[in-house]
Structure 1
Amino acid sequence: MMLSAHHKLQLYGALLLLPAALLLTTFAYIPTVTTLISSLFLPGFRGAPAEFVGLENYQVLFIDPTFWKVARNNLLYALGTIPTSIALALGMALFVNARLPGRGLVRMAYFTPTILPMIAAANIWMFFYAPQIGLFNKLLGALGFSGVNWLGDPAVALGSVMAMSVWKEAGFFMIFYLAALQGMPPELKEASDLEGTSRWSFFWRVTFPLLMPTTLFVLINALINAVRVVDHLFILTKGGPNNATNLLLYYVYENSFAFFDRTTAATITVVILLTLAIIATLKFTLLDRRTHYQ
């Protein structure tokens, strides 16, 4: 039977989507369902079958003080890195979008931390934070201050990790803001100049509202980045001292590969996924009203 032109177009579109659908199913949907199922069972010992326990694993997790400490760390990490990274990214994009000498080099300098592998960036900052020979303590000593144990003091360790993350991510987010700024019609600025609008008023009344789609996209990515922190924790602190820098995904890694407690790791993973889904839904719901699409 011959297909109509409409059905051929539908078949063509389905075939184009098939590779992406297969990849998502294999590496996202199936692992997610498997993890959810694993969180509802206790593993059997010595060949015994796994025992279905329902939500018991979640009850045990929610009374675990270490889990709540790690969750609190991750909340502080997100509150510290997300607004700071986005504000810096927007400021850098506004700066390099203006006419300034050597702006190509400035853009490259801002973006360079992004292209560094996270392991390499963590090793660079390990040198900065070293107690005796580190760059930061050398600068403090030259100014007459005593050194700080940046990664060994629980009071400052998490902030030290956050500083490195902001340095690493701000340039990446800057690229999206810069692209959005360059896509704005120049007539808007010309009209504001004719009206005598100040730069500050033009930014808040015109530029920033038009950047809301980009901000929404960056917010979602920054949220995901704030949760999927593993590699530089492995280099810098390994979650210490005394879990002061331990974050949720690193805690999953510890339970799965250090403690060999795959059930707890699966339970934490499901909690993370549900939390991210709820927050992302709220962001889209609340910010969509203030988002102006061109």
Structure 2
Amino acid sequence: MADADKLKDRMTDVFISLYDGGGPGKVPPLAALALYDDYRDLTPPGPRGDAMIQSLADRLVQIDLLDRAADLLTYQIDQRLSGVEKAKVGARLAVVQLLDRRPNDAVIAIDRSDVPNLPPELQQERRRLKARAYMEAGQPDRGLSVIEGDISRDGELLRAQLFSRAQNWVEAAAALTRLAGSPSDRTMTPEREGLIINLAIATALSGEPGMVSRLRADFEPLMRTTGSASAFELLTGSTRPAGSIDQTALAQRFTELDIFQRAMADYRQKVQQGQLSAIN
């Protein structure tokens, strides 16, 4: 019996070495997955085995096998993990589902990995992922309720995007106004320029002439010397003919903003670099 236990321990060590950094470079991801499928009973309990599974999931998302990575992470949250680690892996699973264009499954991933007494930062990230999933599922109002009270910069950016999906341009403009800062602040960066020009888009789409006039009075002097000066003038100028702006095109431009897509772009970059397990 002792010899059998030693042999099993040796086999487990060899198995783990394929995934812990000593072997992955030598074993292609598909071969590593096939070995895992055949010998998963050798996966040890506890953190060592959990790290092995996450390493394999990292490699699978790197080659765009998102569905198989999702299967591994789902197994972890359902069978192996508890507490904070379960919530962290649930968030990673939600990212994979979002990248795989499965927003409803992303919501389920967050819900099924929910545990009490999470650190505030992790809780906030999970809420934003859930709100983003609701947005991609065509339920922006539910997404807004999830991030209610999140007044951080990332929360306001997501709120503006959610309001735009709900075609509530007045509230989208309100969120962007808070992000754009005071007109008395003369500092201009490319990011702030983008915020202001897209605040102008939301304001133009709001159908509220008074909002357009106030925006122009506040920011025209600041925008005059930027590369977006002509766009700002077109959106807010008093000489613009009624109906001269294609509202459908404006709405599309709003939803494609780099500032709104940055969060998922960051996630995708980490995934492509094999850093899924480092997301949170």
TM over 0.5: no
Name the TM-score, length of structure 2 as normaliser.
0.24
Bigger relative contact order, structure 1 or 2, given CA contacts below 8 A and separation 6+? 1
Name the TM-score, length of structure 1 as normaliser.
0.23
